[in-house]
Amino acid sequence: MQKIQNYINGELVDPVEGEYIDNYEPATGQIYSQIPESKACDLELAVSAAETAQKDWAEMPAEERSNLLIRLADAIDAAGDELAKAEAIDNGKPITFAKHVDAYRSAANIRFFANAATQFASESHSMGSVGVNYTLRDPIGIVGCISPWNLPLYLFTWKIAPALATGNCVIAKPSEITPMTAYLFSKLCIQVGIPKGVLNILHGTGPSIGGPMVEHPKIKAISFTGGSATGKHIASVAAPLLKKTSLELGGKNPTLVFADCDFDTTVSEVARAAFSNQGQICLCGSRIYIERPIYDKFKTALVEKIEKLRIGDPLDDKTQHGALVSKPHMEKVLSYIELAQQEGGSVLCGGNQVEIEGRCKDGYFVAPTIIEGLPLNCRTNQEEIFGPVCTLQPFDTEEEVIKLANGTEYGLATSVWSNDIKRCHRLSKELDFGIVWLNTWLLRDLRTPFGGVKSSGMGREGGHEAMRFFTEPKNVCVKY
């Protein structure tokens, strides 16, 4: 059985204490590899390697750092098919999605921030004839990056890239549920010659290695993406240590459909927004509000579309809906479908576990599920399910739908579907979210600020926001 290794000081190594945990293939329910359960002793090795590497990496001219990272992006592109297959096996997502979204974006993330390294500049403040201030932006030093399982290499690289581009040394931890592509990525780092100790990848669970990373006094900042409960816990540990944190957390995103939308396109895009990656994207629109005059027509068209999705083996090119990431997660999603019915909801399609014949017969498949008849203030509409489950609700006025949309503890992303441009802008101002999409969903420009408000997080990633997060400003004041 394949054993994943940590990547410390430029080498692949076994965990010091030799402990491993099992890694499951969600489509088959079988254990197919083992992951180091890293501990504080592994972290010490990584921190010491990062400390040794820090000065040279920080002082390397930006262009040289950039060139190295571009080579890494090229290597990801070249290994795209292998990475996509590994992601599909490890996560359960359809291989076509893994190719076009996960593998593609992982390379794009690295390339984007490699270029940003050569474009990043700082400010100066003139005091007229008295003097001038200029702001140096130095790397923080050693930083920690912790990522989740839903878009494994995509979100892992999204954090690592700006941290490295700005001259930090990084200790990174992928999710223990989907470690494989981070392992393959560490091999690519060796292949392209990322200097020893600049990036260190430790595998293992949150309590075993994530916690020690957050607490370590030499790790000066933590960039975290994951659940809101974990994020709040990390914030409570990091705050008394005065450690900088960027927290990208959960969502319960509303989709607002008006009667004047482009009907067919909106049905397709709302379906994509709800069920891409089996509904396991923090940005998925899981509460769909439809203006009453088109409610019945929209509902019928949406259900018809969703019932046609091909559920199957993630490794089959034609599969559109794969497995959920783990057995506990599948059980959680099924329990929410049960709860939705207890709360008075009617299941319009799906609602059940699906058995696939052949090698996937023991996999964690759940049919895409649409539910109607639930009010805003029930658990189904308030809590993040993070699976292929969405609810439908009609509305009559803009004021009403704004209240519905804003009526949860989350504020990550929303989308509005309407041809009334004034209305779109009016609503964008009122909607309490970090990201508002108008007549589109998941259209991404990596320069834009990315993140949420309320329980969806603190801070922003992307473009200059990320470059600023990973640097420490130092003002230099000169008197003429």
- Contact residues toward ligand NAD (CB under 6 A) are 146-150, 155, 173, 175-176, 205-207, 210-211, 214, 225-227, 230, 233-234, 248-251, 282, 384, 386, 412, 452, 457
Closest CB 410 distance from ligand NAD, rounded Å: 9
10 Å CB burial of residue 377 (0-12, 13-18, 19+) is exposed
Single-letter residue type at 35: I
Q: Considering the complex, state which of residue 230 and residue 391 has its C-beta at the smaller distance from ligand NAD.
A: 230
Which helix (H) or strand (E) covers residue 119, if one does? helix 104-119
Which CB, 282 or 348, lies closer to ligand NAD?
282
State the residue for tokens 């100790």: 197
CA–CA distances in Å: residue 343 to residues 195, 308, 377: 56, 27, 10
Report the distance separating Cα 366 and Cα 337, nearest Å: 10
Question: Around Cβ 390, how many Cβ atoms within 10 Å?
Answer: 27
Q: With respect to ligand NAD, which residue has the nearer C-beta, 47 or 146?
A: 146
Tokens 């060796």, residue located: 190
Number of H helices, E strands in the chain: 16, 25
> From the CB of residue 202, how many other CB atoms can be counted at a distance below 10 Å?
26
Local structure of residue 311 (DSSP, 8 states): B
State how far the Cα of 330 lies from the Cα of 309, in Å rounded to an integer: 19
Show the tokens assigned to 164: 């490295």
Residue 429 CA, distance from chain mean position = 25
Cβ–Cβ under 8 Å, residues 49 and 42? no
Whether the CB-CB separation of 231 and 247 falls below 8 Å is answered with: yes
Minimal distance, residue 408 CB to ligand NAD, in Å = 13
Provide the minimum distance between the beta carbon of 449 and ligand NAD in the complex, in angstroms, as a whole number.
12
- Considering the complex, state which of residue 209 and residue 261 has its C-beta at the smaller distance from ligand NAD: 209
Closest approach, Cβ 355 to ligand NAD, in A, equals 25
Between 225 and 369, CB nearer to ligand NAD: 225
Q: State in angstroms the smallest separation of the CB of 377 from ligand NAD.
A: 21
Q: How far is the CB of 346 from ligand NAD (least distance, A)?
A: 26
| Cβ pair 337, 351 in contact under 8 A | yes
Which CB, 423 or 464, lies closer to ligand NAD?
464
Tell me the CA distances in angstroms from 236 to 4, 142, 176, 201, one per residue in order: 31, 20, 22, 24
**Least distance (Å) between residue 385 CB and ligand NAD:** 10
Residue 151, beta-bridge partner list? none
Q: How far is CA 74 from the centre of its chain?
A: 22
Phi, psi of 12 (to 5 degrees): -85, 125
**Residue 23 or 66 with smaller CB distance to ligand NAD:** 23
Q: By C-beta, is 196 or 327 nearer to ligand NAD?
A: 327
Smallest distance from the beta carbon of 456 to ligand NAD, in angstroms?
6
Q: Which residue has the tokens 């009526």?
A: 407
Active-site residues: which are they? Answer: 248, 282
